[in-house]
A and B are shown apart, each in its own frame.
Chain A
Amino acid sequence: MRNKNIQFSFLVIMMLASMVACKKEEYTIPDPVSQLTNDCIKRTIGPSIVSLPLEFAYAMAIPKSSGKLVSAQVEASIAGASGTYLENRSFYTNSSGVDVPVLVGSPSLTVDKSTKVTYSIDTNAATLRYYYVIPEEARGQSVSFTFSVTSSDGKTASYKMGPYTISKMSIKRNLAVSNGVNAYISIEDMAVYNAAAAAAAPGKIDLVYLFRAVPTTFTHALVSPAADAAYLPGVTLPSGLNRSTKLRKVFNLQDRNLANLQFGIYVDDVDLRDVDMVDMPNFAIGLRAEAGVWVETADKKYRAYIFVNSINAAGTAVISMLRYTL
């Protein structure tokens, strides 16, 4: 009798368990948008560097029965640099995956921190891109944005983005260096000089670019003016050049910003701040395309990452750099 009761109870529990497990949640159709709505994504990844743009995509829509879009506006907490704008074209992606623009408004107008586009066509949905060029004033600070849209029924919707921390780094791309001519590199100025210009400001010259076909391991090199003469063969330095800059070679670190938007690696403030430069040499020879060097200036004022974009056997190269003030 007792066994029979246990078996019955077990059966009931099992049935209940299977009923609970099989319970299916009913799908409910989401409510259609009944009012002015907006949304935003940040399209730029990687560190936010002064002079480079931050890109956003701002989407907005209103039911056709409620009216149409009148204007879209973005307000940044720090006014953007020259080149900041809100697209007056809305993009959609076609079946081939290509973004196709549709003109929807007049070119944006930027006044101080605010950038505005007024719609010129009758539309009730659009996605506008916003390009915020990071100004010098924002270096090391946080920037946030308020996107807003106004519709013909007098309603307004807004969307906040950020805050985003702006990097302390500076960037300079595509500097052409050549053996014996434009060969003197200043980290402080993020510039390349010839011998005459280097002699005029010797305290600013941190590196010398040179190319030697022999020995075969030498090829393209970045060498401190104070390096051993063996690493400056046949070089007569302009008077006054005597800085000993530390260099650390690195390979496979193709920063996306320096490599002209190729690759998916980013060098950030923390990398430049934390790189171990203790006991590093003051020369780097045998550099190849897509190689790089960490740099620390003699006065320890700056650290930099120099990326070799391209090299030429005639003794020229194109370099790009990120510089961080310690």
Chain B
Amino acid sequence: MAKYFKITLSILMISAIIISCKKDSVVDEDGLLITFRQECFVSNFELLGADFVSVRSKTAVIDTVAQTIDVEVLFGTDLKNVYPQFSLATDCKLDPKISGRTDLSNLASPKVYTVVSGNRKIRKAYKLNIKFQ
């Protein structure tokens, strides 16, 4: 009887050690820290021209419920060569990433950027609507 008890105890101990040694993944595929934050929204938006000067004619309107960003740009803005800048809630990231000059000239098909929360479990797709002044 005592023998069975010892075997059971040993198995339990080994299992406990194995489970306790399992390491949670704390970084995502981009090497960014995964946190517990669930906030997931765009807080600010800027659009720069090829000369890195703002091409907005007024402040961008961000609707976090409808998940849209409406921005009006100056007359003559070359939307094939602009640099969008997003400010996101803490620990969020953007998908697709903005790697440099971006072509936003197809106004008929607004580009969609997805915000991913800090815990990487919530994704919100924002539609970027651009119109000329």
- Name A's B-contacting residues (CB within 8 A): 215, 217-218, 231, 248-251, 279-281, 283, 285-286, 291
Contact = CB atoms under 8 A, between A and B. Distances in A.
Contact of B76 (A218, A248, A279): A218
Contacts of A280: 50, 78, 81
Interface residues of B, number: 14
A231 B50 CA distance: 18
A240 to B, nearest CB: 26
Interface of B: 49-53, 57, 74-76, 78, 80-81, 103, 133
A251 B52 CA distance: 8
8 contacts: A215-B133, A248-B51, A249-B49, A279-B81, A279-B103, A280-B50, A280-B78, A281-B81
Given A217-B76, A286-B74, A286-B76, A248 B133 contact: no
A249 B76 contact: no
Contacts of B57: 217
Given A215-B133, A279-B81, A279-B103, A251 B51 contact: yes
B80 A279 contact: yes
Contacts, number: 37
Contacts of B74: 217, 286
Interface of B is mostly: loop
B38 to A, nearest CB: 39
Contacts of B51: 248-251, 291
Given A279-B80, A279-B103, A280-B81, A218 B75 contact: yes
Contacts of B49: 249
A226 to B, nearest CB: 15
Given A280-B81, A281-B81, 6 more contacts: A215-B133, A217-B75, A279-B103, A285-B76, A286-B74, A291-B51
Contacts of A249: 49-51, 53
A286 B49 CA distance: 12
Interface centre among A217, A248, A283, A285, by most chain B C-beta atoms within 10 angstroms, is A217
B80 A281 contact: yes
Contacts of B50: 248-250, 280
A73 B133 CA distance: 65
A281 B133 contact: no
A194 to B, nearest CB: 25
Nearest to A281: B78
